[in-house]
Chains A and B, each alone.
Chain A
Amino acid sequence: MATGTAVSLEHVRKTYQLAEPVHALDGVDLEIPEGSYTAIMGPSGSGKSTLMNLVGCLDTPTDGTVVVGGQDVGELDDRERTTLRGTTVGFVFQTFNLMPRLTALENVALPQLFQGIGRGERNDRARELLERVGLGDRMDHMPNELSGGQRQRVALARALVNDPTIVLADEPSGNLDTETEADVLDLFDEFHDAGTTMLVVTHERHVASRAERIVHLLDGQIERIEALDESGASPRSSAGHTNGHDPDHDHDERTGSASGANS
């Protein structure tokens, strides 16, 4: 087990055989240390989703290695990958993706159900997490009885229930208004401060700026990695290892832009 590293990608390439081969990821090297908070930004088609799928053990790379929680994802069969995903990765989705017929409590407890953990223990754990995300009084509500912000907090609680090595959030505030977005992102900060490794994919600069660093993807490659200080400003940025072209001249412009979301 690589101590200190939650996820590492080495020379990762993912090719989809469509009409002609499409390189969704084209030689990516990235290391996500334990306890870090990383944001991934990039325009549509830059490979963000593919990267998420790989880190989330939903997919395997065409070339290179993806190591999650010390295990090479490419070496695992489907069942082992599912187990790894269930125990080491927590997902938060833009559309919340709660089970519509299960209560908040049952939704949070669901991942542990598939780990074969007993009902009593599951519910205790789920209750504890729902308390922590501030939904102690909404446990028996159905998702359609909860607001968007509340649903996303249930989703976050569910992502954390198995004590994952990493929490993957895909546009977590995409369907939320500004106020609830801030609440949810504050929760992310809170869990990060408590030691959880966070990886957030977003279009929005102000969401990404909560992270410690921002990985900019472009055309399946890491364009640059931007380290942020506490305030979210960008003191310096370093080019990605396999970056084919030098984007130094335009990053200031991007950093200054408040509406990077639509790029």
Chain B
Amino acid sequence: MRPLEFGRLAWRSIGSHRLRSALTTLGIIIGIAAVIAFVTLGASLQAGLLGDISPDDQRNLYGWAADPETEGGPLAGAQPVFTQDDLEQVDELEDVDAAYGYMPISTQALASDGELTPQSDALIAAGPPYIRPDTIDDGRQFEMGEREAVINPAVAGQFEENVSVGDELTIVRQGGEQTSVTVVGITDSSEGLSPFEGFEPSPRVYVPTDPYYTEEVDGIGAGFGDGDGNNGDGGGGSDEADPANDDDDEPATAEDARFLAIVVEAPSADDGDIDQARDSALAVLESGDSDASELLGDDLEITMQTSTELLQQLQDILDLLQNFIVGIAAISLVVGSIGIANIMLVSVTERTREIGIMKAVGAQNRDVLGLFLTEAVVLGIIGAILGTVLGLAVGYAGAWYIDIPLVYPYEYVALAVAVGILVGVLSGLYPAWRAARTDPIDALRYE
């Protein structure tokens, strides 16, 4: 007997108990729908996050030094250890396109045209390549050594009169000291440019490390020299730079500025190039020749990762959540299987006479087995398909609601159907075996 014939007969008996069949498949529907919905959301969320990493960013390696036992995202527990010398050494490496420091600088306020808005932690000092050309909406990158800045739309729109390229902006630092910069560029979005900043939108002013950071360290050095205890000035991590100053026992100079983090640009986003750039940069930074190695000691270790790798941590959390949901769904599937097995057993008893008739007219045991197994599998597949449709719909609604690009996990749709078949086989096997073993003489006499 052919599978198609089994399917036809199975469909007939499922169709004759519509409500019962529908309720039976509910467990499967819920289980599959839960998995599909969360996998869809997870994949969409992942795509949304990875989509934030521009192709130009994929070759950037973000490095910082922290206690290896520190858990958390980028810059967690980071200490400023990299000097300008270190950066230059790395920059000169053959495997590296560019390297520059990264340092967040605390601020009090931003002012434009005499209008003051309070703003802390808005200043980020980095190298010019940090402003990737594809992120600039208007203007250009700042240049090293110039009093220039690139701002994001959140800053530009913060003042009554929009700040535009060419305008002057005044930055009020923690100590109350004021610096003015010329805005030379505006980025296209207010989201962070790198994992160091986080991806959430926030007002940010990007400036060259020289003069802004080195100048500030000078200020701190002077502060210490005066002994006025103004050691909170640097904000961020700059007070950790102090030991370096103490060691040298001389006023901090531009050369002694320690950066919280380093950004290394590999020649391309190719995995091999990235690994090579990483290895070379780490070799230089961890060798005894570098200034950073003095501070690394046993406590600190340099982490150097791409945006994609850094996002992996977030991905790990998502995966954990997803595994949790899949676990719950698995329970639902087990309950669903028991439901199908139960209904199939009832069905076998109910149809004892039919089994007798079929055997009397020449149905082999395997025909009867196949027939009932097919019925269970059809129930499983129906549950899987309905569950998939429901799950995709919920995933779609969820993705639309939290505004992320929708990604359909097609391989999970195939997996869902496979699971449906598996559930059908497992739950139908015993009832079908019982049906196949029915003695036709007894079955024909059964009322």
Residues of A within 8 A of B (CB): 53, 56, 58-59, 78-79, 82-83, 85-87, 91, 93, 97-102, 110-111, 113-116, 119, 158, 162
Contacts and interface: CB of A to CB of B under 8 A. Distances in A.
B109 interface: no
B362 A111 contact: yes
B363 A114 contact: yes
B360 A110 contact: no
A86 B362 contact: yes
Given A56-B360, A78-B365, A116 B440 contact: no
The interface centre, meaning the residue of A53, A87, A110 with most chain B CB atoms within 10 A of its CB, is A110
Given A85-B362, A91-B360, A110-B358, A97 B12 contact: no
A114 B146 CA distance: 90
Q: Interface majority SS on B: helix, strand, loop or mixed?
A: helix
Interface string B211-230: 00000000000000000000
A114 B12 contact: no
B353 A82 contact: no
Given A86-B362, A113-B1, 7 more contacts: A58-B440, A78-B365, A83-B362, A86-B363, A99-B357, A111-B362, A158-B361
Contact of B1 (A53, A85, A98, A116): A116
A119 B357 CA distance: 20
Nearest to B445: A49
Interface residues of B, number: 22
Given A101-B13, A101-B16, A102-B12, A114 B361 contact: yes
B316 interface: no
A87 B362 contact: yes
A86 B358 CA distance: 10
The interface centre, meaning the residue of A87, A114, A116 with most chain B CB atoms within 10 A of its CB, is A114
Contacts of B191: none
B136 to A, nearest CB: 70
Nearest to B356: A97
Contacts of A119: 5
B3 to A, nearest CB: 12
A80 to B, nearest CB: 10
A50 to B, nearest CB: 10
Contact of B361 (A78, A111, A116): A111
B354 interface: yes
Nearest to B361: A111
Interface in B341-397: 353-354, 356-365, 367
B415 interface: no
The interface centre, meaning the residue of A101, A111, A158 with most chain B CB atoms within 10 A of its CB, is A101
Contacts of B353: 97
A86 to B, nearest CB: 2
B50 interface: no
